[in-house]
Amino acid sequence: MASDTTPHPQGASTTGGTMGAGPGTHAGQSDREQLEAQIAKLREDVSGITDSLKQMATHRAEGARGQAYALRDDVKAQGERYLRQAQDAASDLEEQMSDRIRDEPIKSVLIAAAVGYLYARLFR
């Protein structure tokens, strides 16, 4: 099945006689036209494949973008819930401290003075 690339005497075809019976120029043009047609078909196929790959990449990128936005929204909502919980806990603690201070004012003043004294000693 090896092709013969050496010139043939008396105008014989280089295709081994499979494409045409005429002189080498007519068979050579036919082969060339067929080759050009095949190349054109390959170009069309490659173009189609390229378009398909672009569409797939675009579709996947849109899907990933949608997932990222959904994840962002979920994280944002969860962060807002945690913030509200922390604010509620701080508000409850503040209310409890206020109630304690009203119930035992002298004890509260002594505790505040002790904390202030320790703070001053540590950071002097």
Q: What is the pLDDT of residue 93?
A: 94
Q: What is the pLDDT of residue 119?
A: 93
CB 93 within 8 A of CB 100: no
Q: What is the pLDDT of residue 2?
A: 45
For the chain, list residues with pLDDT below 70.
Answer: 1-28
Q: What is the pLDDT of residue 11?
A: 44
Helix ranges (H only) for the chain are 24-103, 105-122
Q: What is the pLDDT of residue 124?
A: 80
Q: What is the pLDDT of residue 26?
A: 56
Q: What is the pLDDT of residue 28?
A: 61
pTM of the model: 0.46
Q: What is the pLDDT of residue 27?
A: 57
User: Residue 14 and residue 4: Cα distance in Å, rounded?
Assistant: 7
